[in-house]
Amino acid sequence: MTPIVEFIQLHPVVLKVIAVVLLIHGVSGLVYLIPKVVFSRPLPIRLDYLFYPLMSVWFPVMELMRPPWWRKKWLERSGVAEGSVVLEEGFGFGTSPVIAARMVGPTGRVYALDVSPTSVGALWFRAKLYRLKNLEVILAGAKHTGLPQNSVDVVFIADAFHEFPDKEGTLKELDRVLRENGTLAILEDTRGKAKKAAALAKESGLFSLVEQDGKFRRFQKAAATHLPETSVTEEGWAAKVGRASRSNG
Ligand SMILES: C[S@@+](CC[C@H](N)C(=O)[O-])C[C@H]1O[C@@H](n2cnc3c(N)ncnc32)[C@H](O)[C@@H]1O
């Protein structure tokens, strides 16, 4: 499929209509926010719920800046292939998870997580429109995936890691859900942010850097250092039940 055909397939008229609706949604959010900022009037709903629809103003811009073939290239570089289980965190309008779902095919699975109800709503609608049965949309914060331990091959995060409020907590959660030798790929919008993300990942001791290219960093999950929560060593079990282990006589 040529890039042009791919672009048209991913952006039919209906998607442009959605983008305009989201834009109006975003602008109306802004109008709602002005009295709060100017007159310090309390708002009837939480401020962060207003902020998320505002982000949708940027969706059309992000789509133009990052065309589908560009996204596909970085997904491939991250190791997404047929049969992979992929988790994307902070997906915005959701074009990358749609592409990833096509790349992994019916034997793979894509989990797309975002904290914004606007993003989740838009991708849920797109997944239905394209009949993508292997794409699951999750409304949650980055460190609460709710996925089983050791269940994911590739975690892909594009221009979102710097927005996560608890980066250490998020890295721990990604380490938990990634399989042995699993990949964490972080693409940032500046080299500085990519460097910061790499420093944090290194500091955590959970990931080793295996590739870097401009604003892109690819890490591999470090060799297993933790025992699963349910398993204890013989000594640990002995201490727990209050008797000497066999090795101690
Ligand atoms: C700049 S946009 C990402 C753009 C998108 N990845 C792309 O490639 O076009 C950042 C996204 O991160 C999401 N986000 C911010 N904080 C988050 C958090 N704590 N957990 C999950 N997603 C979050 C935002 O809702 C937004 O959709």
**pLDDT tens for residues 185-200?**
999 999 999 999 999 9
Confidence band of 74 (pLDDT split at 50, 70, 90): very high
Q: How many beta carbons lie within 10 A of that of residue 175, not counting itself? A: 22
Per residue in 79-99, pLDDT tens?
Answer: 999 999 999 999 988 999 999
Question: Which comes out higher in pLDDT, residue 179 or 4?
Answer: 179
Per residue in 202-232, pLDDT tens?
Answer: 999 999 999 999 999 999 998 754 444 444 3
CA of 90 to the centre of ligand 1 (A): 3
Instruction: Name the residue with the closest Cα to ligand 1, atom 4.
Output: 92
- pLDDT for position 227: 43
Q: How many beta carbons lie within 10 A of that of residue 245, not counting itself? A: 14
- pLDDT for position 189: 92
Q: How far apart are CA 53 and CA 22, in angstroms?
A: 8
In contact, 150 and 177? CB cutoff 8 Å: yes
Q: How far apart are CA 89 and CA 136, in angstroms?
A: 12
In contact, 171 and 204? CB cutoff 8 Å: yes
Q: How far apart are CA 100 and CA 134, in angstroms?
A: 10
Ramachandran area for residue 106 (φ above 0: left; ψ -120 to 50: alpha; else beta) = alpha
CA of 114 to the centre of ligand 1 (A): 6
Give the nearest ligand 1 atom to 166 CA.
Answer: 19
| 110 strand-pairing partners | 86, 135
Tell me the pLDDT of the chain averaged across its residues.
80
Angle between helices 68-77 and 3-10 (to 10 degrees): 110
Q: Which of 87, 93, 115, 118 to mutate to test the pocket of ligand 1 (most atoms within 8 A of CB)?
A: 115
Per residue in 119-139, pLDDT tens?
Answer: 888 888 889 889 999 999 998
Per residue in 11-70, pLDDT tens?
Answer: 667 677 677 766 666 665 555 455 545 555 444 444 555 566 666 777 777 888 889 999
- What distance lies between CA 41 and its chain's CA centroid? 34
- pLDDT for position 42: 44
**How many residues would you count in the chain?**
249
Q: Which three-class secondary structure state does DSSP give residue 179?
A: strand
- What's the CATH fold of domain 63-221? Rossmann fold (3.40.50)
CA of 143 to the centre of ligand 1 (A): 13
Among candidate residues 86, 158, 98, the one with its CA nearest the CA of residue 124: 98
0.85 surpassed by pTM:
no
- Give me the residue spans of the domains in the chain: 63-221
CA of 92 to the centre of ligand 1 (A): 5
In contact, 103 and 83? CB cutoff 8 Å: no
Judging by DSSP bridges, how do beta strands 152-158 and 109-114 pair with one another? unpaired
